[in-house]
Every structure is written in C-alpha cells, then in structure tokens.
Amino acid sequence: GDSVTQMEGPVTLSEEAFLTINCTYTATGYPSLFWYVQYPGEGLQLLLKATKADDKGSNKGFEATYRKETTSFHLEKGSVQVSDSAVYFCALILQGAQKLVFGQGTRLTINP
C-alpha cells in the first residue's frame, strides 16, 4: 500500500545549523507531497507542498523538492531558529484520492 517513511528522530541542532529531514514514499499512483508542522500545543498546519515531479515547495525558509526518480521529498532549511522546534510530518495524497497518508513524524529541537 501507499506509505511514507521519515528519518528517525528526535533531531537536535544548534541555532543557525543546516537542517535536512529525509522523507521517502511508496505510492501506487502519482501523488502530491506535503510537509506538515506541529508546533507545541498546536494542531498540524501545512508547511509546503509539491504536486508534480521536480516541483519545489517552499515556505518560511524551508524547501523540499519532489524527486520522482528517488521517490523522495526531503525537507531542508539553511539556518534553523529556536522557533522551528516542532514535529514535522511528511505526507502524500494520490490524485483523486481523499486520504492523506502521513509518515511517523520527526521531532526537531533547536538549541540556542
């Protein structure tokens, strides 16, 4: 079945470090890909998305590129801040489908 696999957490970095959170997927069709973020005490919110191969989603300094050849959608940020501390979820939805499939989430902690 369709699935999303994220790198194991937790991830702890210092402020201004470079961030990569790996995400790979398995899909029977042609999915759209997403990163959602869950800040402490809040609901999940959409961070960025990409709907076709080679698209790059970006928001708040975060980027992710839809790589069909490697079935990946890795999240990157050049210089993280303490306020980026959160749980990050990679997700997919197939064209015409109604259900988002999520990865297990990666907890990120940024220390000052």
Using CB under 8 A, list all residues that contact another protein: 4, 6, 32, 34, 36, 41-46, 49, 89, 91, 93, 98-105
CB atoms within 10 A of CB 18: 10
Q: Are 70 and 12 in contact (CB under 8 A)?
A: no
- Give min distance, CB of 92 to another protein, in A: 10
Residue 80: CB atoms within 10 A of its CB come to 21
Q: How far is the CB of 27 from another protein (least distance, A)?
A: 15
Q: How far is the CB of 98 from another protein (least distance, A)?
A: 5
Q: Which is nearer to another protein, 42 or 69 (CB)?
A: 42
d(CA 21, CA 75): 5
